[in-house]
């Protein structure tokens, strides 16, 4: 990042002033690192999987008693898979998505043609199904390539990456995590931590080391139900990186979010009937589980003794 007006250590001690000192271009640079990390993670997982599959394909080609032209084609395909996968892991670039799409397309054509050529029952079905699946992988991978290409994803500068990691560490592992303006929410299937500042919100993923910064006016959570205040878990959709994504947060996090947005909802408490019903259902489920395990244990004992 260029033209920094705040140092790394100032974020944890004065996060609001730090974020306010960042220009729009600097925030966009930090958010581009999120996109690059996401791409890098996908390429690494896909690359390592295909390194194994490429090695297995090569072993299958060389393990036969007689080396035929079909084995030669399989050996070539295995070498292509292995080479591209190692390339993607060592050098994660957007272009690797295009190479994977072409590779999946070639592998799909090969397996489909091999299945139709062999014309032998179960092998025909398995090979053709695998080929069709690889055609689909080629299509989805190419679609991802077009999306990342439009985002102009590139390797971030080392200074920006250090700053990115410093902010992520402060949000996930520092004292900011325990602050009253910190909320926990589930975006999609992943657990995230959101830290609400005066004019910004910082979303951090604890396991994947992902971080993104949004302006307050660009952040909006839309509950799925109007009477959400009495619910323990509130489902809805969140504007996250320019997309509406299914999100869940607990009641306390929702209250903090609404306070941050300057809204004052009417807090509805559960009625005494609903509270007692919930407690009864919880205790009944506990008793049911205990009885079920006791019945299973008795059944095992009966089988072993008789």
pTM greater than the 0.75 cutoff: no
Comparison of pLDDT for 225 and 261, the residue scoring more: 261
Residues 260-278: what's their mean pLDDT? 64
Whether residues 165 and 250 fall in one domain? yes
Lookup result for tokens 């029952």: 121
Q: Tens of pLDDT along 27-58?
A: 888 899 999 998 999 999 999 999 998 898 88
Lookup result for tokens 């892991």: 89
Q: What percent of the chain has pLDDT over 90?
A: 34
Whether residues 243 and 201 fall in one domain? yes
Whether residues 204 and 228 fall in one domain? yes
| Phi, psi (rounded to 5 degrees) for 234 | -115, 120
CATH of the domain at 193: 2.30.29.30
Whether residues 250 and 282 fall in one domain? no
Confidence of residue 292 (pLDDT cuts 50, 70, 90): confident
Taking the C-alpha atoms of residue 236 and residue 179, their distance in angstroms, rounded to an integer, is: 24
Asked if residue 2 belongs to a domain, the reply is no
Asked if residue 4 belongs to a domain, the reply is no
| Residue whose C-alpha is closest to residue 160's, from 40, 33, 37 | 33
Q: Tens of pLDDT along 69-84?
A: 878 888 898 899 999 9
Asked if residue 135 belongs to a domain, the reply is yes
Whether residues 134 and 206 fall in one domain? no
pLDDT at 229 over 80: no
Structural domain including 169 reads 159-260
Cβ neighbours of residue 115 closer than 8 Å, sequence gap 6 or more: 123, 124, 125, 126, 127, 128, 130, 131
With beta carbons less than 8 A apart as the criterion, state whether 84 and 103 touch.
yes
Length, in residues, of the chain? 306
> Nearest-5° angle of CA 205, CA 209, CA 214?
55
Asked if residue 267 belongs to a domain, the reply is no
Secondary structure of residue 195 in the 3-state scheme: strand
Res 271: pLDDT: 53
> Nearest-5° angle of CA 181, CA 184, CA 185?
130
Number of domains in the chain: 3
| DSSP secondary structure code for residue 209 in this structure | T
Residue 90 in tokens: 């060592």
Whether residues 165 and 248 fall in one domain? yes
Res 106: pLDDT: 92
Q: Tens of pLDDT along 102-112?
A: 999 998 898 88
Asked if residue 43 belongs to a domain, the reply is yes
């Amino acid at each position: 990042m260029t033209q920094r007006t705040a140092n790394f250590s100032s974020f944890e001690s004065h996060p609001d002033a730090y974020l306010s000192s960042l220009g729009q271009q600097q925030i966009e640079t930090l958010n581009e690192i999120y996109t690059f990390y996401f791409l890098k993670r996908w390429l690494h997982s896909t690359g390592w999987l295909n390194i194994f599959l490429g090695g297995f394909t090569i072993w299958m080609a060389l393990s036969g008693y007689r080396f035929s032209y079909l084995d030669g084609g399989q050996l070539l395909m295995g070498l292509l898979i292995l080479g591209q996968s190692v390339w993607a892991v060592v050098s994660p670039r957007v272009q690797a998505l295009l190479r994977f799409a072409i590779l999946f397309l070639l592998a799909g054509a090969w397996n489909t043609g091999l299945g139709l050529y062999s014309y032998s029952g179960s092998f025909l079905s398995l090979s053709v199904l695998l080929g069709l699946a690889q055609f689909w992988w080629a299509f989805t991978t190419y679609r991802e390539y077009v999306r990342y290409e439009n985002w102009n994803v590139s390797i971030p500068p080392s200074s920006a990456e250090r700053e990115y990691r410093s902010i992520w560490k402060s949000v996930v592992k520092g004292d900011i995590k325990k602050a009253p303006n910190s909320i926990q929410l589930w975006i999609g299937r992943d657990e995230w931590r959101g830290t609400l500042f005066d004019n910004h919100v910082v979303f951090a993923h604890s396991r994947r080391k992902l971080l993104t910064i949004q302006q307050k006016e660009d952040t909006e959570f839309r509950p799925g139900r109007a009477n959400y205040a009495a619910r323990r878990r509130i489902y809805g959709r969140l504007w996250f990186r320019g997309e509406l994504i299914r999100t869940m947060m607990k009641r306390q996090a929702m209250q903090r979010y609404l306070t941050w947005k300057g809204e004052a909802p009417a807090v509805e408490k559960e009625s005494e009937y609903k509270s007692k019903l919930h407690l009864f259902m919880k205790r009944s489920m506990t008793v049911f589980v205990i009885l079920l395990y006791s019945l299973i244990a008795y059944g095992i004992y009966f089988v072993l003794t008789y």
